[in-house]
Structure 1
Amino acid sequence: MNPEMEYGNDYKFIPTTSLGSGTGIEVLPDLFCYTVQIVNICLVGSPDTEDFVLVDAGMPMSANEIISAVEERFGVNRRPKAIILTHGHFDHVGGVIELVKHWGVPVYAHQMEMPFLTGQKSYPEPDPTVEGGMVAKMSPMFPNEPINLGNHVQALPSDGTVPHMPGFRWIHTPGHAPGHISLFKENNRALIAGDAFVTVKQEYLYKVFTQEQEISGPPRYLTTDWEAAKKSVIKLAALKPEVAITGHGLPMSGELLTTSLEKLVNEFDQIAVPDYGKYLN
């Protein structure tokens, strides 16, 4: 492994799973969602093209599974043009170092995520006291130390374009993380939301395991700025997406997505914001 790249000292396998783990869904001909344990990665690009991109990098120690998923969709020894990170939380960068080493591709993230991706700054500690179920209670075991990608990671272009993803633009959607981004394609109104909102109650172990579909705000135990999180959801709802892939839960589309997002905007404080927790103020 490249000596300048390393995970934090708290990097470890997290023993959680869901019924969707190991399965993929072709949401659109050029948009594929694959579930690694309890989190989704996205493959953007048609299977018959060499130009495709990986969005997010799964759970810790999932690199081999991600490589297999890529090769199953695009062919053996195929590699993406880049890895785009919606943010740097442990469940979105879990395999990134091994993937960079294996493929030799660049990583892009928002400028404000750079301290967490270059070994400079830890994320705030997960909040096990937040309102929610067993996953929230388990959250102290989740890694929060920064990883270090060295010069393999660079900031996304300031003009909103996304390298190797023509037609997409990145949108700053903070709240869950300072430099959290979502990705939107105007011509088909496809949204890759990251954890700005999710389609499962991520704090509850039973709902995570069964992947019971239910729109929700960002995972509570790692969200530190609820005012920003609400503004981000309002911003994404205003785009009127036709289909959305979120960081956790099943993809959502059509009328269900429209009405669910409308409900989340109108009732954000009731649906998303916990009644108690250390990051409420």
Structure 2
Amino acid sequence: MSKIVRIPILPFQMANAHLVIGNQGCVLIDAGLPGSATKIERALSSQGLSFRDIEAIVITHAHVDHAGGAAELRERSRAPIIAHEEDLPHYKREVPMTFCPTGWAGRLFFKTPLPHESYTAFEPDVLLSDGDTLDLSKFGVNGIVKHTPGHTKGSISVELGSKEALVGDLLASGIFIGGLLRTGHAIRPPFEDDPQTVAKELFRLVDGGIERFYLGHGGALDAREVRRHAEALVRMHQQTKQT
């Protein structure tokens, strides 16, 4: 059985990383913004752990609030970074990220410096390709990493044997991507490349038995709410086609 520890990178669950603590090891899911190492070290310490206990670092996608601290954390932990090749040009800082705002919050967020903040380039140690599944048991955790595109082309998620999943920014929750109000209500993240691909991946996860979803923005959601959100994305697409 794995233990999931949320690491608040920004207040009110507006940006989260997570620790997955298994029977034989610890895996960090996302690296937060540049300079997040102190917050992650504090979370590790609260569990009686240190950087040397991190066996692997999974980066769900290349946005700065998820990948920004990756280079520093690899240096401090000596743990390999796992990511997907579709986002590799962004990790290497060769190609700027593109942003497709999903509404007023995304458009407002896009005008702030945060999404455009630079971070230290890095090349992941383990690169997934389309269709790849990586078994995390070699890192002490009962789970797998799979490609779940839609938010970005190279987005990946962690599916645990406990029927829990850490899905990065496939969806978000709460008011203004946070934990102030309606924390159990799913919303679209501020940016999203392909909502219909997101819906497809969410349906796959729910139909595959995932019962609890942990998010990069906002609090955790149950499968029923995730299915409702995926169905709303499909309806949105149908309505767009009719207009």
* TM-score grouping bracket, smaller chain normalisation: 0.7 to 0.9
More helix by share: 2
**Structure 1 residue 230 corresponds to structure 2 residue 199:** yes
Whether the 8 Å CA contact 1:237–1:265 is kept in 2: the answer is no
Structure-2 residue corresponding to 1:153: 125
1:102 aligns with one of 76, 79, 102: 76
- Report which of the two has the higher share of strand: 2
Gaps of 5+ in 2: none
Residue aligning to 1:39: 15
| Closer/same/farther in 2, CA of residues 60 and 29 from structure 1, 3 Å limit | same
Identity %: 21
SS of the residue 2:45 aligns to: helix
How far the C-alpha of 1:76 sits from its partner, in A, is 4.7
After superposition, residues 91-170 of structure 1 pair within 5 angstroms as 91-125=65-99, 127=101, 130-133=102-105, 136-140=107-111, 141=113, 142-143=115-116, 147-150=120-123, 153-156=125-128, 158-162=132-136, 164-170=139-145
**Mapped partners of 2:198, 2:226: distance in 1:** 14
Q: Which residue does 1:216 correspond to in 2?
A: 186
Tell me which moved more, 80-89 or 62-71. Answer: 62-71
| 8 Å CA contact 2:4, 2:20 repeated in 1 | yes
Shift, 1:178, TM fit? 0.5
8 Å Cα contact 1:211-1:249 kept in structure 2: no
- The amino acid of 1:95's aligned partner reads G
What is the total number of aligned residue pairs between the two structures?
231
- In structure 2, the residue corresponding to 1:184 is in which secondary structure? strand
TM-score normalized by the length of structure 1: 0.71
State the Cα distance separating 1:109 from its structure 2 match.
0.3
- 1:50-99 Cα deviation digits (max 9, x unpaired): 61111101123212111221122133564301111111111101222221
1:232 and 1:145 map into 2 onto residues whose CA distance is: 29
Greater shift, 155-164 or 102-111, is seen at 155-164
- 2:225 match: 260
The reply to whether residue 239 of structure 1 matches residue 188 of structure 2 is no
Task: Give the structure 2 partner of residue 173 of structure 1.
Answer: 148
Written as runs of structure 1 = structure 2, the 5 A alignment for 1:15-26 is none
In the alignment, the residues of structure 2 paired with residue 194 and residue 123 of structure 1 have an alpha-carbon distance, to the nearest angstrom, of 16
Query: Which residues of structure 1 form unaligned runs of 5+?
Result: 1-27, 277-281
- Listed one character per residue, the Cα deviations across residues 183-241 of structure 1 (whole Å, up to 9, x for unaligned) are 1123x21111111122224xx3xx63615314334413x21222222222222221232
The answer on 1:90 being equivalent to 2:64 is yes
- Residue 174 of structure 2 contacts residue 180 of structure 2 at CA under 8 Å; is this kept in 1? no
Cα shift at 1:250: 1.3
Aligned to 1:23: none
Q: Does 1:73 align with 2:47?
A: yes
1:7 is matched with none
RMSD: 2.8
Are the structure 2 counterparts of residues 189 and 29 from structure 1 closer, same or farther at C-alpha, using a change threshold of 3 Å?
A: closer
Instruction: Give the Å deviation of 1:179.
Output: 0.8
Does the 8 Å contact 1:241/1:258 carry over to 2? yes
The amino acid that maps onto 1:155 is L
Give distance in 2, aligned partners of 1:116 and 1:172: 17
